[in-house]
């Protein structure tokens, strides 16, 4: 599984913990964004799905030592120690499992990891008197949305145990703040994170064959997989293939900085989508990645993947209004940075 990262403002009165895992794909990019914004950051990661040398690369990129604790967010005693050792004002919580398919096979593992981890963390935060948390949620909480772009007011609907774990996490946070208004939460519903850091030193590097589209396409570009299977071309979309709102991981990381800063500044909870508001089909992704890597990537049309929805696309107004969030990077940026990253990673 993953872990979490925690951060403290340079003046010593702020802290948070990035979503998914501190040294993982989104957590590592958020670490950099937080450092650039002037926060001090402590990472906690169990390295279940993160590369061991990520802290070294973060140190290289920031030209500063990285405080990284190896451990599990479900270890309450360890969390107490981390809170005792550091002046933590807020937490960004990334630590979670995220495979829909695995969650169907191991529902209890998913609940124990995603919900159990959150509960253990909240209890430790309560003991430490730290009540500001940014939580990684997902567009998956919309299930099969009947409105696209999908606003935050759309009903929550669990299609699988992974989705259920995110809905339950949101509900726990909402109940907590309703009971004790001294808590404040930033709930961030990610759409489809993609791309890599511009340096080529950070990116997504799944240990197994990827199930998500962009890392799969990257492996086809590298020649490690023969072709992309396009899961269905009979959806009610312009070219019949699934449409998603892909958001550059650096834009997503920036969203965490804005969320954290808002929590620290005004102590008010918020729940927002983080996406671009623009959808792209599977065929558009393959074409854009082909442009980035300079070769026509092979694909074949395959049956629909069970549980997939035709379109996920974010309504983005609320994130803009509440946090001043907007994205800066294009689909071409996502593909180009991913391609640079996977080529670097392949030679390491
Ligand atoms: C998936 C999860 C979602 C989770 C997210 C985490 C499912 C059904 N949904 O989102 O709950 O939050 O990952 O990152 O698993 N595709 C292909 N060929 C491939 C892979 C994907 O055609 O080899 C298509 C899919 O059918 C979909 C699109 O590409 O239309 C994006 O798929 P993917 O990257 O797996 O993301 P989601 O399904 O949106």
Predicted local distance difference test score (pLDDT) of residue 50: 78
- What pLDDT, on the 0 to 100 scale, is given for residue 22? 65
Q: Taking residues 55-80, report their average pLDDT.
A: 96
Atom 29 (ligand 1): residue with closest C-alpha?
Answer: 213
Instruction: Express each pLDDT in 228-268 by its tens digit.
Output: 999 999 999 999 999 999 999 999 999 999 999 999 999 99
CA of 197 to the centre of ligand 1 (A): 21
What confidence tens digit (pLDDT) does each residue in 148-185 have?
999 999 999 999 999 999 999 999 999 999 999 999 99
Nearest CA to ligand 1 atom 3: 140
Mean residue pLDDT across the chain: 92
Decide if 30 is inside a domain: yes
Q: What is the mean pLDDT of residues 182-211?
A: 93
Taking only the tens place, the pLDDT of each residue in 223-239 is: 999 999 999 999 999 99
Asked if the model's pLDDT at residue 35 lies above 80, the reply is: yes
pLDDT at 306: 85
The dihedral over CA atoms of 146, 149, 153, 157, expressed in degrees to the nearest 10, equals: 40
Whether residue 341 is predicted with pLDDT greater than 80 in this model: the reply is yes
Cα 125 to ligand 1 centre (Å)? 33
How far is it, in rounded angstroms, from Cα 28 to Cα 313?
25
Q: Which atom of ligand 1 is nearest to the CA of 231?
A: 22
What CATH number is attached to the domain comprising 117?
Answer: 3.40.50.720
**Neighbour tally for 320: CB within 10 Å:** 12
Tell me which residue of 286, 192, 203 sits closest to 246, measured CA to CA: 192
DSSP string of 34-48, one letter each residue: HHHTTEEEEEEE--S
Pocket of ligand 1 (CB under 6 A): 98, 100, 138, 140, 162, 192, 211-213, 216, 228-231, 242, 244, 282, 305, 307-308, 312
Domain for residue 39, yes or no? yes
Q: 25 an active-site residue?
A: no
| Cβ-contact 313, 279 below 8 angstroms | yes
Rounded mean pLDDT of 124-129?
97
Domain interval for residue 138? 2-194+246-276
Protein residue with least CA distance to atom 34, ligand 1:
212
User: Which pLDDT band holds residue 21 (cuts at 50, 70, 90)?
Assistant: low
| 196/104 Cα distance (integer angstroms) | 29
- pLDDT given for residue 20 in this prediction: 36
Per the domain annotation, does 267 fall within a domain?
Answer: yes
Pairing between β-strand 184-190 and β-strand 132-138 as defined by DSSP bridges: parallel
User: Given a cut of 60, is residue 343 above it in pLDDT?
Assistant: yes
Portion of the chain with pLDDT greater than 90, in percent: 86
Q: How far is the CA of 212 from the centre of ligand 1 (A)?
A: 5
**237: CA distance to ligand 1 center in Å?**
16
Specify if 330 maps to a domain. no
**Domains contained in the chain, number:** 1
Q: How many CA atoms lie within 13 A of 295 on its CB side?
A: 12
Residue 103 C-alpha to ligand 1 middle, in angstroms? 14
In-domain check, residue 217: no
Look at residue 32 and tell me whether its pLDDT is greater than 60. yes
pLDDT band at 49 (very low <50, low <70, confident <90, very high): confident
Instruction: Say if 282 falls within a structural domain.
Output: no
Question: Is 285 domain-assigned?
Answer: no
In a domain, 250, yes or no: yes
Give the span between the Cα atoms of 273 and 315, in whole angstroms: 7
Average pLDDT over residues 111-128: 97
Q: What is the pLDDT of residue 251?
A: 98
The pLDDT value given to residue 207 = 73
Q: Which residue minimizes the CA distance to atom 15 of ligand 1?
A: 100
- Whether 15 shows a pLDDT value over 80: the answer reads no
Q: Which of the residues 162, 190, 235, 246 is marked catalytic? A: 162
* Lowest mean pLDDT, pick from 94-103, 157-166, 276-285: 94-103
- CB distance 159 to 212 below 8 Å: no
């Amino acid at each position: 599984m993953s872990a979490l990262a925690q951060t403290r403002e340079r003046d010593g009165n702020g802290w948070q913990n990035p979503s998914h895992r501190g040294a993982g794909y989104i957590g590592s990019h958020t670490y950099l964004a937080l450092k650039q914004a002037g926060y001090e950051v402590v990472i906690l990661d169990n390295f279940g799905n993160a590369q061991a040398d990520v802290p070294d690369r973060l140190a290289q990129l920031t030209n500063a030592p990285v405080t990284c604790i190896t451990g599990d967010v479900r270890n309450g005693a360890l969390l107490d120690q981390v809170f005792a050792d550091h002046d933590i004002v807020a937490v960004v919580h990334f630590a979670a499992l995220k495979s829909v398919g695995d969650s169907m096979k191991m529902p209890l593992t998913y609940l124990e990891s995603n919900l159990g981890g959150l509960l253990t963390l909240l209890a430790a935060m309560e003991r430490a008197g730290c009540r500001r948390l940014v939580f990684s949620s997902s567009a998956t909480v919309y299930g099969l949305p009947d409105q696209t772009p999908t606003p935050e007011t759309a009903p929550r609907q669990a299609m699988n145990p992974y989705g259920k774990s995110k809905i339950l996490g949101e509900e726990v946070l909402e109940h907590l703040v309703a009971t004790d208004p001294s808590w404040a939460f930033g709930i961030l519903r990610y759409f489809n994170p993609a791309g890599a850091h511009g340096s080529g030193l950070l990116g997504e590097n799944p240990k197994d064959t990827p199930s998500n589209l962009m890392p799969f396409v990257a492996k086809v570009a590298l020649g490690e997989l023969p072709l992309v299977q396009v899961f269905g071309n009979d959806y009610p979309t312009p070219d019949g293939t699934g449409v998603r709102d892909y958001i550059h991981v650096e834009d997503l990381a920036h969203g965490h900085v804005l969320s954290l800063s808002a929590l620290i500044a005004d102590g008010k909870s918020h729940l927002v989508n983080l996406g671009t508001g623009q959808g792209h089909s599977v065929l558009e992704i393959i074409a854009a990645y082909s442009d980035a890597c300079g070769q026509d990537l092979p694909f074949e049309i395959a049956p629909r993947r069970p549980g997939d929805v035709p379109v996920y696309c974010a309504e983005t107004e609320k994130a803009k209004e509440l946090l001043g969030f907007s994205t800066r990077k294009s689909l071409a940026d996502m593909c180009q940075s991913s391609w640079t990253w996977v080529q670097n990673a392949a030679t390491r």
